[in-house]
A and B are shown apart, each in its own frame.
Chain A
Amino acid sequence: DIQMTQSPASLSASLGETVSIECLASEGISNDLAWYQQKSGKSPQLLIYAASRLQDGVPSRFSGSGSGTRYSLKISGMQPEDEADYFCQQSYKYPLTFGSGTKLEIK
């Protein structure tokens, strides 16, 4: 199985601050990486697919980058509604695997 190591586990940011979350895959995943946002008590929502492509309707302050085994999600200008858990997920190979998540809070 491909292991997805996500960091940090938690993060606190001020409004307007730029934050980054990283995922490291245990082997190359050829940009087959997605990022999800999960707000408290809600289902996950797809933010980014194919490592860097923004899902329809997602604000442009969200961006994804990376290649090979290292990927990151950036939020350029933290907003109150961005307080949530974030997960990465690889779809390069079955079984599909998720990162352990990052809890992002407002400072």
Chain B
Amino acid sequence: QVTLKESGPGILQPSQTLSLTCSFSGFSLSTYGMCVGWIRQSSGKGLEWLANIWWNDDKYYNPSLKNRLTISKDTSNNQAFLKITNMDTADTATYYCALWERDFDYWGQGVMVTVSS
């Protein structure tokens, strides 16, 4: 059974760096073809894809966030990570991690992140 769960700081101040962790079970990110992605959703708004990391460590980022994103993984501990630098109030959102098989087949419950001074 595949499960994913996001964790993060909850609240941070503008200009700080957001560090998110996705802890998962039921699959291994070292297995051929596996991929974990990060997606966010502002309150009452649509979905925005942020980044994907593949089993072979290939990484893809949303260029709209320029060079603020870093995705990584720890296959030994079944975790994926996302860092976003220079956070702004506009980055306030619920952040999801998801397993990509055919598309985003399995999602975590999401973690709410608020950026406020």
Contact = CB atoms under 8 A, between A and B. Distances in A.
Our verdict on whether A and B bind, yes or no, reads yes
A11 interface: no
Contact of A100 (B46, B105, B107): B46
A98 B103 contact: no
Contacts of A97: 49
Given A43-B109, A95-B62, A96-B52, 16 more contacts: A1-B64, A34-B103, A34-B104, A43-B110, A44-B96, A44-B104, A44-B107, A46-B103, A49-B103, A91-B103, A94-B52, A94-B60, A95-B49, A95-B64, A98-B48, A100-B46
A45 to B, nearest CB: 7
Interface of A: 1, 34, 36, 43-46, 49-50, 53, 55, 87, 89, 91, 94-101
Interface string B64-106: 1000000000000000000000000000000010000011110
Contacts of A50: 102
Given A53-B102, A95-B64, A44 B47 contact: yes
B46 A43 contact: no
Contacts, number: 56
Contact of A45 (B46, B60, B107, B110): B107
Top-10 shortest CB links A-B: A34-B103, A43-B107, A96-B49, A49-B102, A98-B47, A95-B62, A49-B103, A100-B46, A94-B60, A101-B46
Nearest to B103: A34
Interface residues of B, number: 20
B26 interface: no
B21 to A, nearest CB: 17
B25 to A, nearest CB: 16
B10 to A, nearest CB: 17
Nearest to A49: B102
Contacts of A45: 107
A20 B110 CA distance: 28
A98 B64 CA distance: 14
B33 interface: no
A76 B48 CA distance: 29
Interface string B46-58: 1111001000000
